[in-house]
Structure 1
Amino acid sequence: MLKRVLVLDDNQDILDVVQETLSYEKFEVKSTADSNKVMSLVKEFEPDLIILDYRVAGTNGGEVCQQIKSHPEFNNIPVIIFSAYINHQDEILAYGCDAIINKPFDLAELIDKVNDLIY
């Protein structure tokens, strides 16, 4: 069975690149641009890893990460936060994420961090 990755980003180009890259690496990927749908997708899709963009419309990725990490059923799911705000790493880590990937990101770094956290 393929490992599942849920991705939140409000930039469709980034969603497309991440989906294509992770699918090529043999992951099952579900993506959304709506931060308000993440918790219901976590329940429905049961991902092995979640990638959240830090800056999205609505609830930011850090707040979504906090919701996931404070939920007794999902708090063990690794979460990566994408961020273009490299000067705010301590602030982002305070949300409880397992890793940060700085934007713009290298696809090899994405694959390495996903593999490190999922296996």
Structure 2
Amino acid sequence: MSKRILVLDDNQDILEVVNEVLSYENFEVHTTSTSQNILEVAHEYHPDLVILDYLLQDGNGGDICKQLKADEKLSNIPVIIFSAYINRDVDYPAFGCEAVIPKPFDLDELVNKVNDLTKQN
């Protein structure tokens, strides 16, 4: 059974690339461009990993990560945060994420990180 990946990013091009690359790697991918009801989506989809964009038009990936980690049923799911703001003064580990990948991201780095984190799960 393939591992399930939930991806939240408000950039449709990034969603398409991530979906294509991870689907090619035999992951089942669910993408969304809105943070509205993201916890409900996660409860229904049962992902093995969540990928969140840090800066969203309708939210903040760091805050969403905290919400996921605070939820009893979702807290063990590894989270990767994508961010174009790596050099800014943001304490990403404080959100509870297992990894941060800078944008623009390297596809091999993404696949390797997803594989590493889903093997642990």
Q: Given residue 106 of structure 1, which amino acid in structure 2 is its aligned partner?
A: D
TM-score scaled to structure 2, two decimals? 0.95
| TM-aligned CA deviation for residue 89 of structure 1 | 6.8
Q: How does 1:61-100 map to 2 (within 5 A)?
A: 61-88=61-88, 90-100=90-100
RMSD over aligned Cα, in angstroms? Answer: 1.0
Is 1:29 matched up with 2:29?
yes
SS in structure 2 of the partner of residue 43 of structure 1: helix
* 2:41 aligned partner: 41
Q: 1:88 offset after TM fit, Å?
A: 3.6
Structure 1 gaps of 5+ residues are none
After TM superposition, the score normalised by the length of structure 1 is 0.96
Cα distance, 1:88–1:42 mapped onto 2, change above 3 Å: same
Runs of 4 or more off by more than 4 Å in structure 1?
none
Which segments of 5 or more consecutive residues in structure 2 lack a partner in the other structure?
Answer: none
CA distance in 2, matches of 1:118, 1:100: 15
Deviation at 1:37, TM superposition (A): 2.7
Name the one with the larger helix percent. 1
Distance of 1:78 and 1:65 partners within structure 2: 10
